[in-house]
Amino acid sequence: MSNHGKFSIRVVGEDGDGVEGVKVSYQCGHISGVGSEYTDDDGWAEFEIIPETLGNGVIPIRKIWVNGEEVSDDVIYPEDGDTFSFTLP
């Protein structure tokens, strides 16, 4: 069993509209590395988990940051097409 494919994170303001140009980062596993992207004009950042570059098996996302601020430390196992959303503080 493995998880791979694309997942997306949307960053919105308090008004619920997407925010452009926000840096979104995540940490895979315990030491597998960090991925970062900037949100598009509708607040979306897209990521891809590639088992060949991160090892085989199920890759958990352990932390998510928005503009350097930790917004999630829940362990999640994204599958292709999953979406997540966070509101800017």
Mind spelling out the 3-state secondary structure of the chain? CCCCEEEEEEEECCCCCECCCCEEEEEECCCCEEEEEECCCCCEEEEEECHHHHCCCCCCEEEEEECCEEEECCCECCCCCCEEEEECC
pLDDT score at 35:
85
Over 50: is that where the pLDDT of 4 sits? Answer: yes
- For the chain, list the domains and their CATH numbers: 5-80 (2.60.40)
pTM, full prediction: 0.82
pLDDT score at 31:
60
**Average pLDDT over every residue of 58-87:** 88
For residue 58, what are its two tokens? 């199920």
pLDDT score at 30:
63
In this predicted model, what pLDDT tens digit does every residue of 7-53 receive, in sequence order? 999 999 999 999 999 999 998 766 656 789 999 999 999 998 765 55
